[in-house]
A and B are shown apart, each in its own frame.
Chain A
Amino acid sequence: MPALPVNVLYEFMQVTEQIVEMMPSVTSGAPESLISMRNIWKTYQMGIEQLHALQGVSFEVQKGEYLAIIGPSGSGKSTLMNLIGCLDSPSKGQYWINGSLVSAMTDDELATIRNKEIGFVFQTFNLLARATALHNVELPLIYAGMGSSERNEKARAALASVELGDRVLHRPNELSGGQRQRVAIARALVNHPSILLADEPTGALDTTTSYEIMALFEKLHEEGNTIILVTHEHDIAARAHRIITIRDGLIEKDERIR
């Protein structure tokens, strides 16, 4: 048997290494859970230094869970939220949502996932100032390519479900903070996403309104929605049924409290 040239052998080893690296995504199929994060890393290049915002985070979320992610600022909480919300892709690791491997997707595929699977609720509401409540709620449906009459009907229904049925044609500046956040929640829910992802949803609201919004989240959870709440406030997190605590890019604690 002729001896194998060294360079061929070396090449073979390199290819093997690459294949092994790709292995998990090929071998392990879609998980049962709604969300499955497996050894997620997020690294930012800051000049010559590397900043590891997330250093191997793994957890699963089942359908219908009410989860809070808590952590001090700089803990990697926001990075994690961006990844869960498919606004960003991990540097390493696998992220599955509703049976799709999100971590390997292109920007446009991510946009589709955001449209179909994720409903965002932001601290500062992020409504389009010039548009009416109705149009704001219609936006995800527009990007889903829905026809205008069906869209209108669904958006009105979503607004009615957050008790804003009589405010559909108001613009954000004609609404109170709590009402704005309810418009944002209606917008998040209108496309029936897999996850309602809320980032400090009460951060810009007074205490009374905060309680109203939290009560609304509870109601939505009871109706079967999966809710992920990102916050740094413990009493808000305490409303959830499970709390994941992030510190220094790692999960410090993952406890079920209810």
Chain B
Amino acid sequence: MNFTEVLKLAFSSIWAHKLRSFLTLLGMIIGVTAFMVVLSLLQGFNLYIDEKIAGIGSNIITVQQFGIDDFKDSDTIAAAQRRNKDLTFDELNFIRERAQTIDKIGVKAGGSTVDIKRGAETLQDVRVDGAEPVIADIEKLDIAEGRYFTESENNNSVRVAFVGADVASKLFPFGSPVGEEIAVRGIPYKVVGVQTAKGSIFGQPQDVFVQLPLKTYGSNFGGFTRNRLLYFEITSLSDKLFKDTVDEVRTLLRVKRRLAFDEKDNFGIITPDAITSMRDSILGPTFIVIIAVPGIALLVGAIVIMNIMLVAVTERTKEIGIRKSLGARQGDILKQFLFEAATLSAIGGIVGLILAELLGFIITKFIFQTSIPLWSAFVAIGVSALVGIVAGLFPAWKAAKLDPIEALRAD
């Protein structure tokens, strides 16, 4: 009996018991759907983060007081607070003068939020940073209107501001803000440029900010201490050299700070890799749990399939007898029932996949980005067919071993 014969046979007997097949499949369908939806959400989440990281500027190395590892728990935070020191312009110049693999290096400071005013209008909780003009190149800022600040504006502490899209649209709903004035802590600044809207990352809006020239910021906000610490943004000469640049910056800073080889870094270097690995470390354990739950649904589906196949074998004992009397070998009967179970299960997998695709489409449309990776679609169908085969093994073996005389005698 060849493959197509067995497959035809499987389909015809599944079709003969439409309702029963459907009910049997429900478990499988639910399992696969749940599995795929969860997977597609995770995948969507990953894509989302990757996109956002790319949006931040995937090649930027940030040097700051604390590293991601320092935030592991309260002990590491405490240790880092004791150990780590503020970054200084001295250190910036030290790196700038010696580094071979750096393309650009710039400084930013700040991060605290204040209220911004325009006349009687107030916008609350706006993040205010100071930045060197080179930051625009490093972060590859998209400028919707106007321009970024110039070196001379920075050197002369001119009161100019580059604002996020939301600041512009909320304080200047009509007309362009460029050339207009806004007030930060009572001091007026002239808006020179507006950034293109970027949306939000992890629920953090990216368009509610005001950037001032670093020196303007330093003199008007009271120095680079406490919550106005300096941090460096660095780009590498090329993507290939990225890792070398990270190592170089780290080494230079350690040299400058005279750290012994066995001492820990007393600063933090943050790369997009570090962000992705943080994401992985958060999602890793979640992933296992999330996959395990639909896995249980699949197991239940398998048990249902095994049960229904046992019923089918009992019900079709006569048919098995007839087939055997006509020359069906044990292998033929085994194949017939195994294929039926596998086909049944694979149909469940395919239906589940289609449902997941639909659900994913709806979720993407209304809630959150999802994506079903192609490999997982094949895995879902493969796994469900495999589950069917495993579940069908015992019933099929029972059928194959039936004594033809006994089987023919059955009603």
List chain A positions with a Cβ less than 8 A from chain B: 82, 85, 87-88, 107-108, 111-112, 114-116, 120, 122, 126-128, 130, 139-140, 142-145, 187, 191
Contact = CB atoms under 8 A, between A and B. Distances in A.
A115 B326 contact: yes
A111 B405 contact: no
A112 B329 contact: yes
Contacts, number: 60
Contacts of A82: 405
Contacts of B318: 126
Given A87-B408, A111-B329, A128-B319, 13 more contacts: A85-B325, A111-B324, A111-B330, A114-B324, A114-B325, A114-B326, A126-B322, A126-B408, A140-B326, A140-B327, A143-B328, A145-B1, A191-B327
A112 B408 contact: no
Given A82-B405, A88-B405, A144 B325 contact: no
Contacts of A88: 405
A140 B324 CA distance: 10
B330 A108 contact: yes
13 contacts: A82-B405, A87-B324, A108-B329, A111-B328, A111-B329, A116-B327, A120-B326, A128-B322, A130-B16, A143-B323, A143-B328, A144-B327, A191-B327
B402 to A, nearest CB: 11
B332 interface: yes
Contacts of A126: 318, 321-322, 325, 408
Nearest to B15: A130
A45 to B, nearest CB: 15
Nearest to B318: A126
Contact of A108 (B12, B13, B323, B331): B331
Contacts of B408: 87, 122, 126
Given A120-B326, A130-B12, A142 B5 contact: yes
A126 B319 CA distance: 8
B135 to A, nearest CB: 73
Interface string B303-324: 0000000000000001101111
A115 B1 CA distance: 13
B332 A145 contact: no
Contacts of B319: 128
B2 interface: yes
A145 B2 contact: yes
A191 B16 CA distance: 28
Contact of A114 (B16, B327, B330): B327
Contacts of A187: 326
B146 interface: no
B1 A143 contact: yes
A87 B325 contact: yes
B188 interface: no
Interface in B325-347: 325-332
Nearest to A79: B405
Contacts of A116: 327
Contacts of A143: 1, 323, 326-329, 332
B404 interface: yes
A130 to B, nearest CB: 5
Nearest to A115: B327
B119 to A, nearest CB: 83
A112 B327 contact: yes
Nearest to A116: B327
B228 to A, nearest CB: 81
A143 B118 CA distance: 88
A209 to B, nearest CB: 22
Contacts of B329: 107-108, 111-112, 143
A122 B331 CA distance: 24
Contacts of A139: 322-323, 326
A107 B325 contact: no
A114 to B, nearest CB: 5
Contacts of A114: 324-327
A107 B330 contact: yes
Nearest to B13: A130
Contacts of B1: 142-143, 145
Contacts of B405: 82, 87-88
Interface string B4-16: 0100000011001
A107 B404 CA distance: 10
A122 B321 CA distance: 12
Contacts of A140: 326-327
A162 to B, nearest CB: 17
A111 B322 contact: no
A54 B17 CA distance: 43
Nearest to B325: A120
Nearest to B407: A87
Give the 3 A-B CB pairs with smallest separation, nearest first.
A115-B327, A143-B327, A111-B329
Interface in B1-46: 1-2, 5, 12-13, 16
Contacts of B5: 142
Contacts of B325: 85, 87, 114, 120, 126
Interface in B372-410: 404-405, 408
A110 to B, nearest CB: 9
B16 A111 contact: no
A151 to B, nearest CB: 10
A111 B327 contact: yes
A108 B324 CA distance: 10
Contacts of B330: 107-108, 111
A140 B1 CA distance: 10
Contacts of B326: 114-115, 120, 139-140, 143, 187
